[in-house]
Structure formats: structure tokens, C-alpha cells
Structure 1
Amino acid sequence: MTLPRLLPLFVTRSAFLSAPGLLTVAAFAAPTALLVVVGGGTAAFFRTEGESAVLYRALALVAVALLLVPFLSLGAAAARLSARRRDDRLSTLSLLGASRGTVTGLALLEPLLLAGAGVLLGAVAAPLLALPLGLVPFRGSPLGWRALLPPGPLLAGLLAGVLVLALGSAAVGVRRLTVGPLAVRVRRDAPRVRAVRLLVGGALFSAALVAAVAGQTVAPSVAVMVALSAAAIAGGALVLHLVGVWLVGAQARRRVRCAGSPEQLLAARGVLEDPRQAWSQVSGVALTAFTATFAGSGAALVGAGPGGAGTAPMTEEEVWLVQDVGTGILLTLGISFLIVAVSAVIAQAALIHDRKELYAGLHALGADTRTLHSARVRTVMQPLLLVVAVAGAAGLLLAAPMAGPAAVLAPGTFALMLGSVAAGALLVRAGLELTRPVLAAVARAPARAAG
């Protein structure tokens, strides 16, 4: 029972065309297409010349820093989705006598092949996404769709990075999989989220705040200022990832103690089952709120939005710069919303399949699909409201040294931030509603089979 003989039996046409397989491929294709276009657009700004070229490159790097963590979160969620499909079959293989090396090889290769299919599909779809985005004007004229496609070496690096992320997540899943004496798979309880995350997050946020202040006060050059500002933004987003998980778990523990209905208790227990997974479902909106704070501050700083700095006479180059900052803000937020929408649908569909035994059991015990759906909505929306408030506050604190208190407190900043939060929350809520039929089918499946 060797790996070369078993691999064709597991990686089949049905494995790719089944609902979980298609969902996994789509989960990798969407972030790949977005990543290729963002990488190509960033590279295009580094090929520009002129007086404002350095500033354009700096703004492109800031946009990439704002989108980096959401991209990583979506990619990791896609990798976890592909890993969930394998556990039962790996247990069966172990029961039949397959060696640990064979099981490990299958556990790594199957998700990697599905991820590879998604990466290829995303690379093919990237030019289609670049066509409308290439019409967006910068410096007075459209960039063109070709400018949004990265050069060969960069494209290869981006695609390889997605595959490495998939392989890394699969490897972590292998380490967490244990096989008992009778080769029956045993799931370990979700690891407890410890309060040490608050200490690490606090130290990292302090470092990000220092970098933000240093970038505006003691930076010896524009390049150093941009590097420090980008580091501060990326550091703040990482802090949210660290602290957000703990906050979601702490809120769920409190709600378990004061639950007043079955839906509330099911929702709180669902979050406590795996706070990291609960965080992943709302992290997109939290990071979008964080991004919108900087976007609104930037718009107010250059006078590109409500509450701006005014309209003093400007040269043609300065007019282009103001317009392009506003365009870049909208593009960054638009890409964030796309990530949120994709994450919401994929995460909810994957979670339903992952907990199908639970939903089927609860339905058999008398819980109707309305109650199950209501509990699932609470599982997502209650943590969402908490983390977006924390994300917005963190963004305001980090943006203040960069843009100044006047830009941070401008009405346009708050309008853009609140509007982004509302749009992100609506996208997540729509994702929950779109997967309602999936939940109903999973919950009722045993009843149909029995009949």
C-alpha cells in the first residue's frame, strides 16, 4: 500500500468535481486572481517616472500592507478547507495498514493538487479581472489591463507563495492529526486561546505606534518614512489577528454564562468550540474597518473627501495626485470588500460541512432549521460587532501620527470607516443567507436517508 498506488485512487475526477472539491478550488482561485492583479498594479507603479514617482510607489506599498493580512487570512482559510476533507479517509487508510509516511504524503499531496488547480484557475482569471480595473485612470489616463499583470518572475513568485501557504497549512494539519491503537482518528480539542496574546499584541502594537511616530518625525528620507509607515500598518493588522481571537473567545465565555435562549447558547458554544475559526469569519470586516481608517485619513489629508483640507490652487501634477489618492482608496476598499465577500461564503459553506454531524444531530433531537440558522447568524454577527469596534479604534490610534489629528478626526474619515463596516457586515450577512439552503440540506440528510 504505497503512495504512488494510492494517489490515483484519491485524486480522482469526482474529488475535484464534488461540492467540497469545487469549493476548495474556488477558495484558492479567488485570492490568487486578486493577488496577481494587486501585484501587477504595484509593479506598474514602480515602472513609472516623474516627479511624483516616489510618492506613487510609497502609496502602492501602503495599499499592499493594508491588504497583506486579509490575503493571508483568506489563503489560510482556503488551505484549512482543503485539509478538512481528508481526515476520515486517512483514518480508513491507517485502519487498512497504510504506513504513517503514506498517510502523511497523501495528506500533503491531495490539498496541494487542489490548491494547484485553484491557483491555475486564478491565474487564468486574473486577466479577466484586470480588464475592467485597467480602465481606472491614474495620472490622467487608464493604466490598461496589461499593466496590471505582473512580469514573469513576480507572477511565478506570487503563485508559488500561494502553494507554499497551502502546503504549510496542510503540514500543520498533519501534525494535529493523531491515530489511536485501532487506527481510528481522534480529534484534539481546539487549543485554548491564552491571554498571553494580549501581552504579545500590546507589545507589537506599541512597536507599531513607535514606528508610525518615527516615520513622521525622525525618518532621514522618504524611503525610510514609507518603510516605517508600512511596517506600522502591517504591525497593527497583525495585532488585530493576535488579539481578535482572544476577544472573540472572551466574549463567547461571557455569553455562555448569561445565555437566555437556545439560539444564544448554541451560538456561544459554537464560538468556544474554535475561537480561531470564529475569528476567521469576521476578520475580513475587522481588517476592512482598520483599512478604512487610513483611507479616510488619507482622503481628508489631501482634500479628496468630505472634511478635507480645502482646494487651494494646484498644479496639474498635484491635481492628478489628489484624484489618484481618492481612486486608490476606493480600489483598496473595493478589493477588501471582495475578500470579505469571498471569505464569508466560503467560510460559512465550509463550516456547515465541517459540522454536519452536529447539525444533523440537533435537527434529529427537535431543533428546526430556523433555530439552527439563527444560532449560526449569532455565532458570526456578535463577534463581528466587537472586533470592528476594536479595529476602528486601533486604526485611529495608528493613523493619528501619520496623518495628524485633524485628518483622523475629520467627518470624512468616520463616514468612510462606518460605511465600510456597514458594507462589510452586509456582505457577511448575505453570505450567511446564501448558505441557508446548504444548512437545511445537511440537517435533513439523515431523515431523507432513513426514509
Structure 2
Amino acid sequence: MRNLLDLTWRLLRGGGRRGLLGSSLTLAAVGVSTALLLFAVAINFAFAGRAERGAWRNPEPPTGATAGGPPRAVEAVRGEFSGDRRITVVHVAVLSPGVSPPRGVSRLPAPGEVVMSPALAELARDDGSVGRRFPQKRAGTIGDEALVHPGELVAVVGHAPGEDIMTAKYKGDYRLGVSATKVPDLTGSPSPDAGAYQALAAVASVLMVVPLLVFGGAAARLTVARRDRRLAALRLVGATPGQVVAMTVAEAVITAFAGAVLGLLLYTVAIPPLSQVRIAGGAWFASDIWPGPLPIAAVLLAVPLLVGLSAVVGLRRVVVSPLGVARRETPPAMRFVRVVALLACLAAVPAFGAGASVTVVVVVLSLSFLAVNLVGPWVVAMIGRITARTAKRPARLLAGRRLVDDPRSAWRTVSGVALTGFVAGFIGLLAPSASISVENDPVTAWLLQDIRTGTLIVLLVSFLVAIVSAGITAASAVLDRRQTYALLRLAGTDLSVLDRARRLETLIPLTVMGGGSIAAGMFCAAPFARLAMSATGGLTLLVCAAAGFAGVIGAGALSRPLLRSVTTDPAPRPD
């Protein structure tokens, strides 16, 4: 085993300048996907932390004879606004001694006293209208452990049990109205709003994580032709299948682990700007954005495992038919069962509606995502056959033949944008309009603004994945085919023809699969669209489609100098 590892390390180091470039592409791909994966995981912990810190303001009465013991306090919560900033006021009356304050609150105020968060105390000092709302004596502070977000405006006002506000019932929206509740302690439970945000975060995570996992798996197949030919040669000179698999896993895991560590560093650097994104009225504590040691360790272990597994799956041809790989034979066509899997997932969508649980929505979206990724290479192969048969120019013929010869590689180049199209199609219909102002309805306007912010974040992450994926895989494809490109150039093919063929190889499947993915996303969103469908959805889709095409074209253009470089090699040979 040690000899295999030594040989793997020698091959990894001795690949030359272009071999080093190929490993660097994999390193960059894994680093970007790891950083974004950490973000997708962290948002769930961030919203869970907010829900936990704000639970004490959502009083929960005992529901059984012994649940929580007898009532020892009365709690009433109301919301009000100062401009566009929300002030949460918690009214408390103690029924029996010994009631502990919530974690983060210095002490419970007595009747006629008030405890404020630092931001509210500063606002009351600077703004006389806010100060006049709280004439009570200042009795303490509310720390970060009791605040949903930094700078939150919160007050705890002490009362006697018999005061009117301690016997009030709900008036209007529960988020603004007042209702007194007798409770055994001041712990409470997460509010419905907090639960809604957690549900939305879970859906957003799926919309980001699945493309990231696909991208991470594709990273293991970068520079695949170069590595497959090298391993096939080793297989033909006597290496066993187990040795070939072990070498591949070792090479992939070494590179992937280094990329995962790089991704962790990138995410750490990104935490300060990420913490300034305002959701639900405020920014984030840095500890919210940091997912913690166990999730980080899980990601750092899962990413190399995924890359190693993907590399092993791609070794079937090398292990079973090394001679075919060495001779660069076209692999057999993929089966129609891939399309059946996608149709089955889409057929299940109408059975669910807006009342479906979050778990159901997450499962349906995940399966639809994976089915789109599964059917992608099959569709690309079909597009290649049609393109080659109808080609009237050399560049189009070359592009069609390349799509038929290696549809998986072509799909990897456009998969990021195609899956982003699915995301855009899904959330484009659900993007709420901005017609509700803060003065008609502040709570609803606030929620819709948060949904728009979340939509923008998901799209930005998806497009970042798509553009980085397109750029890295395009460069990798040039390295994989450098011998073919160089031989065609020596045979007299003009460089502009090769470059045009390379562009068509991306743009043709991108047009078909991008449009199909947008349609599939819209179809999956249809059962939920009645919740927030607006006229802005069409504009969102148009912008997404234009940005996706522009990003892929721009990313592909970056590898044009590399194409020129590999075609100038006077003696092209395999690595």
C-alpha cells in the first residue's frame, strides 16, 4: 500500500506544468464548492440559533396537568416600529418569587422598571419620541444571548399582575398585537415566524447544496481523459484493478482535502461581509455564521469522500476495458432510463401543494435536481447526434462529434448553468413583488423583503457556482483534448475553427438544457406559486437567463489563450 501511495504522489508531482495546472483546477473547484457548501450548511444553524435566542419572547402556556408546573409569571409581548426598525416589548408580571430571567437578561424588572437592549437604550437616549415610550426606571440590560440579531431593539417592562396589559387578549396580527399568557417560566418556544424562516432556509439550502454536490463530484472528473489514459497504461502493463482504484482514490482525496481546507479558509475570510446581510430586521452575529466544529469537520470529511467516490465511479471503463480507453474508443450510448427517472420525479410534483411539509418539499426538490443532472448527459448526446447530422460547417461538425464522443464532459461544462436555471425557474415564480410599503403593512413588507433578499442570495450563489464551474471545466476540457487539438492544428485546421467548435460545444447544449431546466423549475414551483406569484417573476427569469449565458461565454473565453498554447506544441503526446 505504501508503494502505491508513493507512486501516486510521484505521478501527482511529476505531471509537468499542465499536470500541475489540472490539479490546480481541481483544487480550485473543490475549494469554491466547499466554501459555498459551508455557507449553505451554516444558514440552517444561523436561523436555528436565532429561533432559540428569541424563544423566550414567545410564551408557551402549560398544556398538561404537570407540564412545567403551575404558572409563576404572566408574559405579554407586543411589537411596534420606530421608522422601519421594529421594537419588541415584553411585559412581565411575577406571580410567585423565584422566577429566573431569560438567559442574557441581567434581571427581571420589578413593577415600574424596564430592562433594555443596548441599541434600544441608545435610541431612547437620542430620540425623545422613543424615550417617552419607556418612562419606567432603567433596571438592567439585555445581552447578546437574548437578542435575535446585533442591534436589536428589545425592552422588558415590569408590571403588577393586576394591570390591564397583563390581562389583554390578541388584537390584530399576533406579531403586533398583545396577548397575556400565564407561564411556569420565561423560556417559551420558537415563534411561528422563526419556524417559517427555518423552513425557507431548508429549501434554500437544497437549492444551493445539490448544485454544489454535483459540482464537487464533477471536480473529481476534471482532466479525466489525461488521467484515464495514464491509468489505462498502468493497467495494461500489469496493475490490478484494486491498485488502479487505490491510486485514483488516493490522488483524488489528497487534492480534494487540500481544496476543502482552502474552502474553509475562503469561508472564514467571507464571514465578516456575510454577517452584514440583513434578514428579519438585522445583521448576524459572527457566531451564527460559523457552523461549529462538528459541521465543519463533517464537511471537510464529506467533500474528499464525495470526490473520491466520484472518481471511483468514473473508473469503470479503465478497470473493465483499459485497451478501449487507451485507444480512445467512443463509449456506448447511455440509456433512456435516465429520462424516465426525470419524468417520474416531475410526475410526483402535482401531488403536492402549498400545504406540503418542508420535508416533502426538500425531498421533491432534491430528487428533481438529481434527475435533471442524471438526464443531462443523455440529452447532450442526443443534441450531439442532431448537430453532427445537420452540420454544414467544419466547426459545427467538430462540436457535434465531440458531444457524441464525450457527453458527460460536455454536460459538466454547462451543468452549473443548467442547474442554476432550475433554481431560477423555481424561485422566479415565487419572487414577491415590492408593492407593499412599510406604512400599509410593516410586518408583511418586512417578510417579503426578506424573501427577496433570500432569493437574491440563492441566485448569486447558484450563478457563482455556474460561472466558476463553466470556467474550470472549460479549461480542463482543453487540457484533456490537448493532443487532439494539437494534431488537428498540425493537420491544417484553423485555430478559429477549433475555437468556434469549442464555443458551439458549450452553447448548443446550454441553450437546450438551460431552457429545459428553467421549465422544469417552473413546473416544480407551480403548486406553490399561488403563495407569492408576482409579475417580477418573468423579469427575474429573463435576467437569470441573460446572466447565465453571459457568464458561461465569459468563462469560456478565459480558456482561449490555453487553447492557443496547447495547439502550438510541435510534438503532442499524452502525459
Do both share a fold (TM > 0.5)?
yes
Q: Does the C-alpha gap of structure 1 residues 24 and 206 become closer, same or farther in structure 2, counting only changes over 3 Å?
A: same
Which structure has the highest strand share of the two?
2
Q: Deviation per CA, 1:84-124: give whole Å up to 9, x if none.
A: 55334434545665554433322221111011111111111
For the pair 1:260 / 2:392, whether they are aligned, the reply is yes
- Report the residue type matching 2:347 in the other structure: S
Report the Cα distance in structure 1 between the residues aligned to 2:395 and 2:374, rounded to whole angstroms. 28
For the pair 1:269 / 2:387, whether they are aligned, the reply is no
Q: Is the 8 A contact 2:438 2:445 kept in 1?
A: no
In structure 1, what is the equivalent of residue 540 of structure 2? 416
Q: Is the 8 A contact 2:271 2:286 kept in 1?
A: yes
In structure 2, what is the equivalent of residue 164 of structure 1? 305
Report the Cα distance in structure 2 between the residues aligned to 1:362 and 1:267, rounded to whole angstroms. 13
Alignment of 1:46-125 (within 5 A): 46-49=48-51, 50=54, 51=191, 52-81=193-222, 84-94=225-235, 97-125=238-266
Q: Is the 8 A contact 1:45 1:57 kept in 2?
A: yes
Q: Give the CA deviation at 1:290.
A: 1.8
Q: Does the C-alpha gap of structure 1 residues 249 and 14 become closer, same or farther in structure 2, counting only changes over 3 Å?
A: closer
Q: Does the C-alpha gap of structure 1 residues 159 and 386 become closer, same or farther in structure 2, counting only changes over 3 Å?
A: same
- What secondary structure sits across from 1:137 in the alignment? coil
In the TM superposition, structure 1's runs of 4+ consecutive aligned residues that sit over 6 Å from their partners are 13-17, 179-184
Alignment of 1:21-60 (within 5 A): 21-49=23-51, 50=54, 51=191, 52-60=193-201
Alignment of 1:131-170 (within 5 A): 131-170=272-311
Q: Give the CA deviation at 1:187.
A: 4.8
In structure 1, what is the equivalent of residue 566 of structure 2? 442
Q: Deviation per CA, 1:301-322: give whole Å up to 9, x if none.
A: xx34xxx6x4586665433322
Q: Is the 8 A contact 2:244 2:319 kept in 1?
A: no
Report the Cα distance in structure 2 between the residues aligned to 1:358 and 1:93, rounded to whole angstroms. 22
Q: Is the deviation greater in 163-172 or in 227-236?
A: 227-236
The two structures, once aligned, show a CA RMSD in angstroms of 2.7
Q: Give the CA deviation at 1:231.
A: 2.3
Q: Is the 8 A contact 2:425 2:518 kept in 1?
A: yes
Q: Does the C-alpha gap of structure 1 residues 208 and 277 become closer, same or farther in structure 2, counting only changes over 3 Å?
A: farther
Report the Cα distance in structure 1 between the residues aligned to 2:430 and 2:383, rounded to whole angstroms. 33
Alignment of 1:16-415 (within 5 A): 18-49=20-51, 50=54, 51=191, 52-81=193-222, 84-94=225-235, 97-178=238-319, 185=326, 187=328, 189-211=330-352, 213=353, 216-217=354-355, 219=356, 225-300=357-432, 303-304=433-434, 310-311=436-437, 316-404=442-530, 407-408=532-533, 410-415=534-539
Report the Cα distance in structure 2 between the residues aligned to 1:253 and 1:93, rounded to whole angstroms. 33
Q: Is the 8 A contact 1:20 1:85 kept in 2?
A: no
Q: Is the deviation greater in 435-444 or in 191-200?
A: 191-200
Q: Is the deviation greater in 328-337 or in 102-111?
A: 102-111
Q: Which 5+ residue runs of structure 2 have no aligned equivalent?
A: 55-190
Which structure has the highest helix share of the two?
1
Greater CA radius of gyration, 1 or 2? 2
- Report the residue type matching 1:389 in the other structure: G
Q: Deviation per CA, 1:104-153: give whole Å up to 9, x if none.
A: 32222111101111111111111112222221111222114442221111
What TM-score do you get using the length of structure 2 for normalisation? 0.70
- What secondary structure sits across from 2:492 in the alignment? coil
Q: Is the deviation greater in 99-108 or in 165-174?
A: 99-108
- What secondary structure sits across from 1:445 in the alignment? coil
Q: Which 5+ residue runs of structure 1 have no aligned equivalent?
A: 220-224
What TM-score do you get using the length of structure 1 for normalisation? 0.88
Q: Does the C-alpha gap of structure 1 residues 139 and 12 become closer, same or farther in structure 2, counting only changes over 3 Å?
A: same
Equivalenced residues, count: 432
Report the Cα distance in structure 2 between the residues aligned to 1:377 and 1:346, rounded to whole angstroms. 15
